[in-house]
Amino acid sequence: MTETAPPLKLGAVVITMGNRPDDLRALIESVAKQDGDPIEVVVVGNGAPVTGVPDGVRTIDLPENLGIPGGRNVGIEAFGPGGTDVDVLLFLDDDGLLERTDTAELLREAFTADPKLGIVSFRIADPETGVTQRRHVPRLRASDPMRSSRVTTFLGGANAVRTTVFEQVGGLPEAFFYAHEETDLAWRALDAGWMIDYRADMVLLHPTTAPSRHAAYARNVARNRVWLARRNLPAPLVPVYLGVWLLLTLARRPSAAALKAWLGGFRAGWSTDCGPRRPMRWRTVWRLTALGRPPVI
Which CATH number belongs to the domain containing residue 203 in this structure? 3.90.550.10
User: pLDDT tier at 196 (50, 70, 90 boundaries)?
Assistant: very high
User: By percentage, how much of the chain surpasses pLDDT 70?
Assistant: 97
* Assigned domain for 283 exists: no
What CA–CA distance (Å, rounded) separates 272 from 264? 12
Residues 227 and 177 in one domain: no
- 35 pLDDT higher than 60: yes
Give the number of domains in the chain. Answer: 2
Q: What is the pLDDT of residue 120?
A: 98
- 214 pLDDT higher than 60: no
Residues 222 and 125 in one domain: no
> How much is the CA Rg of the chain, to the nearest whole Å?
19
Q: What is the pLDDT of residue 211?
A: 67
Residues 156 and 243 in one domain: no
Residues 104 and 158 in one domain: yes
49-63, 131-145, 152-166: least confident range: 131-145
* Assigned domain for 205 exists: yes
- 144 pLDDT higher than 90: yes
Residue range 134-154: mean pLDDT, rounded: 92
What CA–CA distance (Å, rounded) separates 71 from 49? 13
What CA–CA distance (Å, rounded) separates 282 from 266? 25
Q: Are 42 and 91 in contact (CB under 8 A)?
A: no
Residues 259 and 159 in one domain: no
Q: What is the pLDDT of residue 141?
A: 83
Helix axis angle, 282-290 to 181-191, nearest 10°: 110
End-to-end Cα separation, the chain, in angstroms: 51
Give strand ranges (E) for the chain.
10-16, 40-46, 58-62, 88-92, 97-98, 117-125, 149-150, 158-162, 195-205
Residues 182 and 219 in one domain: no
∠ CA 196-59-90, rounded to 5°? 15
* Assigned domain for 1 exists: no
Q: Dihedral sign, CA of 229, 231, 234, 235?
A: positive
Helix axis angle, 217-232 to 181-191, nearest 10°: 20
Residues 120 and 231 in one domain: no
